[in-house]
Amino acid sequence: MAHEYVPPTAGTAPRVAAAKRDDVDVAEVVELVKQYALQETVGPIRGAGRWLGFGTAGAVLLGAGGLLVVLGVLRLFQTEFGDTFAGRWMGLLPYVVALFVCLAVIGVAVSRIGASSLHRT
For residue 55, tell me if it sits in a domain: yes
Domain assignment of residue 1, yes or no: no
**What ranges in the chain are assigned the alpha helix state H?**
8-80, 93-111
Is 94 part of a structural domain of the chain? yes
More confident residue, 34 or 121: 34
| Residue 111 exposure: Cα atoms within 13 Å on the Cβ side | 6
- Domain interval for residue 68: 8-119
pLDDT at 61: 94
Query: How many domains, in total, are found in the chain?
Result: 1
* Contacts by residues 16-19 (CB-CB < 8 Å, ≥ 24 positions apart): none
Residue 121, pLDDT above cutoff 70: no
Residue 2 is assigned to a structural domain of this protein: no
Mean pLDDT across 24-41: 84
pLDDT digits (tens, 9 = 90+) for 39-92: 888 877 877 888 888 889 988 998 898 889 889 888 888 888 878 777 777 878
Quote the pLDDT of residue 8: 57
pLDDT: is 82 or 30 the higher one? 30
Q: Is residue 26 part of a domain?
A: yes
Q: pTM of whole model > 0.85?
A: no
